[in-house]
Chain A
Amino acid sequence: MRILYFAWLREKLGAAEENLDLPPGLNTVAALIAWQQTRSPAHAAAFADPSLIRCAIDLEIAPATASIAGASEVAFFPPVTGG
């Protein structure tokens, strides 16, 4: 699965994008965030507070409970601050 990172998440991870094989049984945005916390110290730091993280599945905002089944692109980023 293609995973994208923006703003301070991208900076903390030192990567804008990763292509990941997810462990079987990982079905929701919340589960994906919990798994990210276990991947490396940098991931643990970046994903430490899920309340600061927003998610989009295939270019649409998705809540923590959303299913990631069949998604081709998942993005993680902080709350938006444009305008």
Chain B
Amino acid sequence: MIKILIQQADFNAGAELAALQADAVGGIASFIGTVRANPADNPPLTALYLEHYPGMTERALTKIAEQAAVEWSLTNTTIIHRIGRLTPGENIVFVGTASPHRQAALSATAFIMDWLKTSAPIWKREDFSTGQSAWVAAKQTDDKAAEKWIK
């Protein structure tokens, strides 16, 4: 089963992990992304503002999750991405995968994060303590991380 959620509200990682369990499952892997208080080379952060393209985001994430489910024979997959204004320490993203064996779940979780970062239409703006703000620039290293999965 695939579960995709785009929401302003926080998620309960424990409850999400428990929901991934099923009779066929032997391993559950997960990743949680959080808001850093001190981005590199910038003043302290007061908030991160996340914007997305409603409709396209759900579609892009579903596509990534379906690809992962086929490639690694996943039993269950959950992707939750928060949007709106988030303060340092808050959760941004949850990815959890469940499979009969551990390596599939671990690899699928990394694959989903790498592709989410380069293909889901979501943008971050950093709001600084100085009152200034800046949209985060895409990183080439993220593109490379996603490309390494292409065989």
B residues whose Cβ falls under 8 Å from a Cβ of A: 33, 50-53, 55-56, 59, 81, 92-93, 113, 116-125, 135-138, 142
Contacts and interface: CB of A to CB of B under 8 A. Distances in A.
Contacts of A7: 51, 123, 125, 135
A56 interface: yes
A77 B54 CA distance: 13
A22 interface: no
Contact of A80 (B59, B92, B121, B125): B121
Contacts of A20: none
A68 B144 CA distance: 29
A77 B57 CA distance: 13
A75 B53 contact: yes
A61 interface: yes
B137 A77 contact: no
What is the size category of the interface that chain A forms with chain B?
A: 10 to 19
B140 to A, nearest CB: 10
A82 B53 contact: no
A4 interface: yes
Top 4 nearest A-B pairs by Cβ distance?
A82-B122, A79-B138, A83-B117, A7-B123
B53 A4 contact: yes
A78 B113 contact: no
A82 B135 contact: no
A82 B55 contact: no
Contact of A83 (B51, B93, B121, B125): B93
A35 interface: no
A83 to B, nearest CB: 4
Contact of A78 (B120, B135, B142): B135
Contacts of B59: 59-60
A6 B51 contact: yes
Contacts of B121: 6, 56, 75, 77, 80, 82
Among A7, A8, A77, A78, find the residue whose CB has the most chain B CB atoms closer than 10 A.
Answer: A7
B18 to A, nearest CB: 24
